[in-house]
Amino acid sequence: MTEINASPNMNSSGYEMPPEMRQNIAITTLDKIWNMGRRYSVWPMMFGLACCAIEMICTAASRYDLARFGMEVMRPSPRQSDLMIVSGTVTKKMIPQIVRLYNQMPEPKYVLAMGACASGGGPFKEGYNVVSGVDKYIPVDVYVPGCPPTPQALLHGLMKLQEKIDSESITSVRWYQKEAIEAIPVPILGPDIIDPRDFPTIKSLTQGKPAAAEPAAETA
Amino acid sequence: MRFSALKRDERAGYEGHIVPASSLLEVAKALRDEDGFDLLSSVTAVDYLTDNEEEESFFEVVYHLYKSTGGGAEVLRVQVPRENPVVPSLVELYPGADFQEREAWDLMGIKFEGHPDLRRILMWEGFAGHPLRKDWKEVYFEEEAKPFGNRWPGGQVYRVEDQNPYGKNNQYPDGFDPESWVETEDPLLYENLEKAAREYTEDIDTEQVVVNLGPQHPSTHGVFRMAVRLDGETIVALKPVMGYLHRNHEKIGERNTYIMNMPFTDRLDYLASMSNNFGYALAVEKLMGDKVAPPERAEYLRVIMAELTRISNHLWAIGFLLNDLGAFFTPALYAIEERELILDIFEATAGSRMMCNYFRFGGVARDLPAGILPRMKDLVNERLPRKIDELDLYLSENELVRSRGEGVGIITPEDAIAFSATGPVLRASGVPYDIRRADPYSIYDRFKFDVAVRYHGDVYDRYMIRVDEMRQSLRILKQALKDLPEGEILTGHNPYQVRVPAGEAYGRVEGPKGELGYYIVSNGKPSPWRYHVRAPSFINLTILEKMCVGQKVADVVVNLGSIDIVLGEVDR
């Protein structure tokens, strides 16, 4: 080590240090240390929907070993998890539960849409019970393409999530702001799935102009 | 036939008999009691909607009955008018019809008179319409059949979703008021649960509680839900709730061309995609006749892949059954290690780990790549037998496995047959019914193997039978790999443009989970008129309530694990 009161030096704090501590001090920003703790302890929710869940389990299992990223602690309870891996087709019957689970997760929380179905409906998009992408209801941080994505692809997605976490700052992330975060309204199982946020649109279309209620039957 | 009411079905390409709805019960009872058709394999409905003024539109409910001693099918059909279709329920005679009739009510809108609990099963109560009817259109409807005109070169590509005012896959009936809507799905479920419970405990005066296991629950192997009514820790009633992964396989399948359905079948039972391909290929080949008989090498490859799938599926099932027993993840890790080696073979051959899309009508898609055969031989002859022995050694005599498994969730052979259970669930109850022997398909009649059977019908036997079956699969694999001939892998026609003559076919295979059947009705067009999947996981669940009532709540999880369901197949 150089002398303590020398010109600014990345390896020196600029303060008087007892000699025995000089090798043991690192200087960093609060953001960095905060994000480092967060990125290596992302606990995913143990929550599988469809085929992708099998690849998610394989990612956590023998060959691919998710533990390398500190993410092997799968929590069955949303209260203890940081990351929701939406692994599979999101159906209309399931979306109220997914939104409810998302609301129950404590901040900070992240969502990873795994596979084609969760990202945009995938091969089943045209189905009458299929939600065309989970992002129609809850915010998604990382999309992983594939049908199903291989474990390598999921790992890549998780590394992208780590990069995203790295770029956060505790002064600007939404969960440290003064305003309360509104819960996402839970969809209702009606004649079709009803998003409470759509109430005005639905009313204007089904009651005002009955003829416009079946837009899908039109062809261009 | 003895019954004057029975009429032979004389349409070209059809078999079986047409029964008037009024005498269905009588005929079914006679078939069951006198002729030995005790296994009701499949119940489904077909919508024969026609624009032709001269012909009449009608619904047809199709029953496939088999003997549990083996042999071919007796097909019964009931034709009912499209307005107010009512058919007597077979639940009294064949309890296994329960969920299948509910499914036909849900998706096709056929009322089954006398059904004890006729609620929707895959969609929810209150959903508008019966989606599999031919005149019901989904939100993203474009045309009746693929390929859609606007996707061809020169067509104007547009997205139907962009034209939907909600920006979502939603539609609502005219005059619908969202604010006054009340959900009825759960209240109805709890009402039925209470009804079932009252019958069970008339004279006990304790407070009962309702517990929901799932749809997000670590023990349910996916998005399955069990509404359980408990008296202390004892279960007095249980109602499975499914449909959380209902991906509209059949509706999409009826818009697709025949070959387009092949990758969709992968996603039914996503742990056993090769078997799913196999069943679908068999059904379509049955319709197309001898011109698509697969070449010798393809038959061998099909059997090899199907048996490898069975092993990988059973490894997974055992690993996760132990998970349910509380041996959290360690046995599963060992099982997954071996499964990965099998997936490597699939990936090398078919190009994908899980969604293999490997079978074609009249053969298979790709030949084995160079260098994979020695690896397969090594796996089948050396590694897997050793590892299965190891699994058996560590688990089968384990004190905890035995005490949690023996005598738990017992299914008697009579019940197993009556509830249409198939596969390991049926064979663990002492009924040696394996389609590979009972109604042989492909080239299974050439191989030496035993039909694994166990006699106690409890969780432990359902675990043991999977170990037995893996060993038998290894026996088949050893023979098949030794005899694998050289040659073509596909008959010489274009597999992408198949011409399927009008008619119907029911193709079934012994999948790892039970009898996987595909019922296909063709009207000669490029896409199937009706495409129905007889899913073993779905029908094996019918008996779950009976298995669990009277037992402790902790055993429900194990009972469910021992049936080995996959939600992609349950909900389709």
Residue B330 above 60 pLDDT? yes
Q: What is the pLDDT of residue A27?
A: 77
Residues B219 and B297 in one domain: no
Q: Is B260 on the interface with A (CB under 8 A)?
A: no
Residue B5 above 80 pLDDT? no
What letter would DSSP give residue A89?
Answer: P
Q: Could you give the angle at the alpha carbon of B421 between the alpha carbons of B418 and B425, nearest 5°?
A: 130
Residues B353 and B459 in one domain: yes
Task: Average the pLDDT over B299-328 and give the result.
Answer: 90
H or E element at residue B405:
helix B399-405
In which region does residue B77 sit, left (phi positive, over 0), alpha (psi from -120 to 50) or beta (all else)? Answer: beta
* 3-class SS of residue B40: strand
Q: Which residues of B132-156 are buried (b: 16+ CB within 10 A; e: fewer)?
A: bbbebbbbbbbeeebeeebeeeeee
In whole angstroms, what is the distance from residue B258 CA to residue B547 CA?
39
CB count in 10 Å sphere of residue A23: 8
Confidence tier at B385 by pLDDT (50, 70, 90): very high
Q: For residue A136, which residues of chain B lie inside 8 Å, CB to CB?
A: 167-168
Residues B481 and B540 in one domain: yes
Residues B429 and B563 in one domain: yes
Q: What is the pLDDT of residue A13?
A: 60
Q: Can you give the CATH number for the domain in which B339 is found?
A: 1.10.645.10
Average pLDDT, chain B: 87
Q: What is the pLDDT of residue A208?
A: 60
Q: What is the 3-state secondary structure (H, E, C) of B78-110?
A: EEEECCCCEEECCCCCCCCHHHHHHHHHHHHCC
- Full domain range(s) for residue B24: 7-113
Boundary (domain end) residue, out of B212, B241, B270: B241
Residue B307 above 90 pLDDT? yes
Nearest C-alpha of chain A: how many angstroms from B247?
Answer: 6
Q: What is the pLDDT of residue B553?
A: 87
Structural domain contains residue B226: yes
pLDDT tens-digit profile of B189-245? 888 888 877 665 556 567 788 888 878 887 767 788 888 988 888 888 888 998 898
Cα distances (Å, whole numbers) of residue B355 to B84, B267, B306, B327:
41, 7, 14, 29
Task: Average the pLDDT over B475-486 and give the result.
Answer: 91
Nearest C-alpha of chain B: how many angstroms from A143?
Answer: 19
Structural domain contains residue B154: no
In whole angstroms, what is the distance from residue A86 CA to residue A112 CA?
6
Residues B221 and B271 in one domain: no
Of all residues in chain B, the percent with pLDDT exceeding 70 is 97
Residues B554 and B448 in one domain: yes
* Burial (0-12, 13-18, 19+ Cβ within 10 Å), B380: buried
Structural domain contains residue B14: yes
Compare CB distances from B340 to A62, A212, A217 and report the shortest one's residue.
A62
In whole angstroms, what is the distance from residue B254 CA to residue B234 CA?
44
What DSSP string describes B263-324? HHHHTTSTT-HHHHHHHHHHHHHHHH-GGGPPPHHHHHHHHHHHHHHHHHHHHHHHHHHHHH
Confidence tier at B494 by pLDDT (50, 70, 90): low
Q: What is the pLDDT of residue B533?
A: 92
Structural domain contains residue B392: yes
pLDDT tens-digit profile of B336-384? 999 999 999 999 999 888 898 899 888 888 889 988 999 999 999 999 9
Q: What is the pLDDT of residue A218?
A: 38
Q: For residue A194, which residues of chain B lie inside 8 Å, CB to CB?
A: 170, 172, 178, 181
Task: Average the pLDDT over B49-56 and give the result.
Answer: 82
Task: Specify the number of domains making up chain B.
Answer: 3
Residues B232 and B265 in one domain: no
Q: What is the pLDDT of residue B1?
A: 53
User: B411: which 2 tokens?
Assistant: 């299914």
Nearest C-alpha of chain B: how many angstroms from A181?
Answer: 24
The neighbouring-strand residues paired with B315 are none
Minimum CA–CA partner of A93 in chain B: B244
In whole angstroms, what is the distance from residue B63 CA to residue B82 CA?
18
Q: For residue A192, which residues of chain B lie inside 8 Å, CB to CB?
A: 127-128, 139, 170-172
CB count in 10 Å sphere of residue B467: 18
* 3-class SS of residue B340: helix
Q: What is the pLDDT of residue A215?
A: 44
pLDDT tens-digit profile of B231-264? 888 888 888 998 898 999 899 999 888 888 999 9
Structural domain contains residue B156: no
Do A188 and B183 lie within an 8 Å CB cutoff? yes
Residues B68 and B102 in one domain: yes
Q: What is the pLDDT of residue B101?
A: 92
At A167, which amino acid appears?
S
pLDDT tens-digit profile of A14-58? 677 788 877 777 778 888 888 888 888 888 888 888 888 889 888
Structural domain contains residue B442: yes
The answer to whether the Cα torsion of B369, B371, B377, B382 is positive or negative is: negative
In whole angstroms, what is the distance from residue A215 CA to residue B144 CA?
16
Q: Can you give the CATH number for the domain in which B30 is found?
A: 3.30.460.80
Q: For residue A218, which residues of chain B lie inside 8 Å, CB to CB?
A: 163
Residues B235 and B375 in one domain: no
Residues B532 and B416 in one domain: yes
Residues B84 and B225 in one domain: no
Nearest C-alpha of chain B: how many angstroms from A182?
Answer: 21
Residues B197 and B256 in one domain: no
Structural domain contains residue B421: yes
Express the helix, strand and coil content of chain B in percent, nearest 5 each. Answer: 40, 15, 45
Q: What is the pLDDT of residue A209?
A: 52
Structural domain contains residue B153: no
The predicted complex's ipTM stands at 0.88
Confidence tier at A67 by pLDDT (50, 70, 90): confident
Do B244 and A198 lie within an 8 Å CB cutoff? no
What letter would DSSP give residue B353?
Answer: S
Boundary (domain end) residue, out of B52, B85, B113: B113
Residue A214 above 60 pLDDT? no
